Structure 1
Amino acid sequence: MNRMDDTGVAARPAPVRNSATRRLAVTGLAVTGLAATLAAMVATTLAAALARAVGVDFEIPDGGEAIPLPGFAVVTGFFSVVGIVIAGALLRWSARPAGRFVWTAASLTTISLVPPLVAGADTATTAALLVLHLVPAAIMIPTLARSLRTRSG
């Protein structure tokens, strides 16, 4: 009878990544990310329009002006692209890009919930803003994490 002294765990060899396959992986991530960004922008703007239709004014006390609907799309698009850049950097330089991305994105999403809580807006506006931070996160984080898992080998 043969006896094995190892733990039965074998290290998975690193995928062979030349510049062409790396470029394809980054391009695929970017295309997936931009499609998710558009979906997040639409979903967030529609959710804001729905909140406004039920009476949320989105007025922040310091400025006195209401946040316009296109503002939700612009901010969502900007920070979604920041997420794509972070995902691309992790794909390039991390051994575990998907796991690190989820941790990083979840941490940044949590931090993004602080401004609505301290802005001094009414309860309805604060609650709506909190939800509107979570809507694009619920679209972008799983989509980019799935894309990173597929592309990182």
Structure 2
Amino acid sequence: MDSMNDTGVVASPAVGRTGQSRRLRGLAGTGVVATLAAMVVTTLAAALARAAGVDFEIPDRGETIPLPGFAVVTGFFSVVGVVIAAALLRWSARPAQRFVWTAVSLTAISLVPPLLAGGDTATTTALLGLHLVPAAVMIPTLARSLHTRSG
């Protein structure tokens, strides 16, 4: 890395477009695999919770969360995480550290809606756990990928 200003953004003309493109493609590939894994694990965990008697009914909205909904929402926010990781890989001097800090902060914020949704205790507890499941898949995987690709 050639230079770093106070915000931690790197200007690195020594790394050509080919090297940077390769790093971003590698991160994207890792991100796609991690996203699919997070979708599967989260949906399976939701199915197990449903089998154990959790109804995932949100009375404030008058609906029950369907199992495919868990996969869709997990996939969407996992892709958002990959985009954040790619941006940090491109513009941060310490992408892995900044990604972990950002992702953990966003995960903590994501725990608020289940607490406000008005579900019963089992639903609320299951939803809180189901927010942590994809985070447990995505955050370490992308952080590891950023660490090995930023050096």
Q: What's the TM-score, normalizing by structure 2? A: 0.91
**Helix, strand or coil for the counterpart of 1:136?**
helix
CA gap 1:92/1:116 in 2 versus in 1, 3 angstroms = same
Q: Residue in 1 aligned with 2:127? A: 129
Cα shift at 1:120: 1.0
Unaligned runs of 5+ in 2: 1-11
Alignment of 1:88-99 (within 5 A): 88-99=86-97
Alignment of 1:1-153 (within 5 A): 16-153=14-151
Matched residues in 2 for 1:15 and 1:61: separation?
A: 55
Which runs of structure 1 show a deviation greater than 3 angstroms over 4 or more consecutive aligned residues? none
| Percent of residue pairs bearing the same amino acid type | 78
Give the length in aligned residue pairs: 140
Q: Residue in 2 aligned with 1:5? A: none
Rg larger for = 1
Q: What's the TM-score, normalizing by structure 1? A: 0.90
| Structure with the bigger percentage of strand | 2
**Helix, strand or coil for the counterpart of 1:57?**
coil
1:37-89: per-residue Cα shift (whole Å, max 9, x none)?
00000000000000000000000011221100000000000000000000000
